């Protein structure tokens, strides 16, 4: 794999003293903006705040308690996607949101930052707080920040980060001649 993918992890221990600069956040949002989009529709919108700018704090207010760690981030980005009446674009607007989020995350990793997606926030609260129109849905919040130094920060959060990461083996997810039959790769 490319090292960008190898370096990415949903780390929770973040260093509150490191800022995400405006220029970094601009590039991160630009990377997200350039993600593939079904039919050229571009249904994805972002609400972005950096620590101390007031927007960050309002975004942080919408986090569920289990994501309190994310208040140590340098930036928060709420990814919203358009809800359409016709079924097909609606379905693909979720795919677009996922692709934009992935690009946002990997551009953050390219800057040596952590970017951690979260479903654990109150979408209705975010919708009202930021006047998100009814035809857009807040999908995922991404915490962006610098990883905390080893031994720094909340030990309980650090313990969660230390848990082993794993994935299903490739032959259980990548199929060839039919579903369930591993892809032939050599």
Ligand X SMILES: Cc1cc2nc3c(=O)[nH]c(=O)nc-3n(C[C@H](O)[C@H](O)[C@H](O)COP(=O)(O)O)c2cc1C
Q: Is 118 in the site for ligand X (CB under 6 A)?
A: yes
Site string for ligand X, 143-182 (x = CB under 6 A): ----------------------x-----------------
* Other CB atoms within 10 A of residue 72 CB: 22
**Which of residues 4 and 181 has its CB atom nearest to ligand X in the complex?**
4
Q: Find the shortest distance in angstroms from Cβ 140 to ligand X.
A: 5
CA distances from 17 to 43, 61, 72 (A): 34, 20, 8
Q: Is 109 in the site for ligand X (CB under 6 A)?
A: no
Q: Is 117 in the site for ligand X (CB under 6 A)?
A: yes
Radius of gyration of the chain from its Cα atoms, rounded to whole angstroms:
18
Q: Is 123 in the site for ligand X (CB under 6 A)?
A: no
Task: Tell me the β-bridge partners of 14.
Answer: 147
Q: What are phi and psi of 22, to 5 degrees?
A: -60, -40
Q: Which residue's C-beta sits nearest to ligand X?
A: 120
Q: 157: closest CA among 37, 73, 45? A: 73
Where do contacts with ligand X occur on this chain (CB under 6 A)? 9-10, 12, 67, 117-120, 140, 165
């Amino acid at each position: 794999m490319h090292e960008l993918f190898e370096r990415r992890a949903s780390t929770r221990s973040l260093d509150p003293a490191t800022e995400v600069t405006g220029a970094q956040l601009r590039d991160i949002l630009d990377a997200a903006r350039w993600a593939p989009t079904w039919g050229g529709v571009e249904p994805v919108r972002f609400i972005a705040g950096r620590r101390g700018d007031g927007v960050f704090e309002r975004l942080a207010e919408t986090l569920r308690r289990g994501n309190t760690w994310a208040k140590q981030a340098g930036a928060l980005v709420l990814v919203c996607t358009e809800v359409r009446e016709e079924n097909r674009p609606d379905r693909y607007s979720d795919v677009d949101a996922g692709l934009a989020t992935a690009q946002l995350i990997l551009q953050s990793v390219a800057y040596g930052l952590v970017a951690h997606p979260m479903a654990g926030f109150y979408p209705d609260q975010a919708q009202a707080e930021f006047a998100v129109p009814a035809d857009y849905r807040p999908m995922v919040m991404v915490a962006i920040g610098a990883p905390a130094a080893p031994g720094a920060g909340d030990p309980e959060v650090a313990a969660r980060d230390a848990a082993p990461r794993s994935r299903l083996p490739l032959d259980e997810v990548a199929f060839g001649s039919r579903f369930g039959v591993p892809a032939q790769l050599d």
